Amino acid sequence: MTVRAVLADATSWAEAGHVVAWGQIAVAAPEPVSPISGVELVGVGDVLWLGPGEFDPATGLLTRLGDHAVEGPRLDLWRAPTDNDRGSDKPEERAWREAGLHRLQHRVIEVDVQENALVVRTRVAPPSRGFGMFADYHWTADGDRLRLQLNVTPDGGWPCTLPRLGLRLALPGDVDAVEWFGAGPGEAYPDSRQAVRIGRFQSTVDGLQTPYVFPQENGNRVDTRWLRLGGVQISGEPVFDFTARRWTSEDLDAARHADDLQPRDRVHLNLDLAQHGLGTASCGPGVLPRYRLHARKASFAVTFQTL
């Protein structure tokens, strides 16, 4: 339920109908995703098919969803540092880079082809370090739906917080229209979300970007129930965060000016369980303890569906 206070009459500073204040309360919990009953996994030549998903049998990576070419998804722990991540005497960015989180490597341990599921076991870690994450991808399907459950378990002693915890994938570059039911219309992060409200919103991929003077992580949308783009719908269990942009996190990290960001031939999509808070370390205190993201055992599930 959304309650708004609006101007009844025009004033010198706003037209009639201008929203002065608003508030929301939840009147119902998000509806759960209907369960996946399971369809048979089929091997055809050098590919595996599970419902609408086509997989590489060597890596277990999703390569196609229906008619849409896909790259990934894979566990992602990195974000392009913000001005606040770089601020303070002990910047988060320095700890993340010293830990090698900007150059993670993915090693496939096992691709387990089951009758009604595909289970891919991997270890994700910076090179030459004794810590990492075990990431297990458990795929099932039901008709035109493809469900992924990601289970992550920390391995070794982690020396720092995590920038993010989620999935990264790429979709065809002609994707443009974006629609979602969740928090919006603008960006939000764990400790910076008072301006967003729950609703149904539309944008373009370019319209999701916040053009900060110095390029950095931006454009995250939180509490998303479902997301539609490029003929694909992604549903949460119950919610997820997302960012969609025409460049990678590494491109964003390397850029020093907005015109350094050149669109690639893919739309790069992050689906996150959590992100580290922003804080105010460029001009004030860092991230409060409850918004700091630490390595932990976690489970995250989303369902893909072609439209």
Return the bridge partners of 144, or none.
none
192 and 95 belong to one structural domain: yes
* pLDDT of 40: 80
Cα 77 to Cα 276: distance, rounded to the nearest angstrom: 10
17 and 126 belong to one structural domain: no
Cβ neighbors of 105 (< 8 A, separation 6 or more) are 124, 125, 126, 127
What one-character-per-residue DSSP string does 141-166 give?
A: EETTEEEEEEEEEEES---S--SEEE
188 and 110 belong to one structural domain: yes
5 and 67 belong to one structural domain: no
203 and 291 belong to one structural domain: yes
How many structural domains is the chain composed of? 2
Q: Is 102 helix (H, G, I), strand (E, B) or coil?
A: helix
pTM for the structure as a whole = 0.95
155 and 79 belong to one structural domain: yes
* pLDDT of 217: 98
CA atoms within 13 A on the CB side of 93: 18
Residues of the chain with confidence (pLDDT) below 50: none
205 and 139 belong to one structural domain: yes
* pLDDT of 42: 85
Q: What values do phi and psi take at 253, rounded to 5?
A: -65, -40
22 and 42 belong to one structural domain: no
Containing structural domain, residue 144? 34-306
214 and 243 belong to one structural domain: yes
Cα 221 to Cα 244: distance, rounded to the nearest angstrom: 10
* pLDDT of 199: 96
Cα 129 to Cα 295: distance, rounded to the nearest angstrom: 15
- Torsion from C-alpha of 137, 140, 141, 147, nearest 10 degrees: -50
19 and 65 belong to one structural domain: no
CATH code for position 136: 2.70.98.10
250 and 140 belong to one structural domain: yes
pLDDT single digits (tens) 246-259: 999 999 999 999 99
Strand-pair category, 145-155 with 298-306: antiparallel
* pLDDT of 88: 77
For 38-41, the CB contacts below 8 A with 24+ separation are 38/116, 38/117, 38/140, 38/141, 38/142, 39/116, 39/141, 39/142, 39/143, 40/115, 40/116, 41/113, 41/114, 41/115, 41/116, 41/117, 41/118
12 and 44 belong to one structural domain: no
Write the DSSP symbol of residue 189. Answer: B
Q: Closest by alpha carbon to 132, among 150, 112, 97, 159?
A: 159
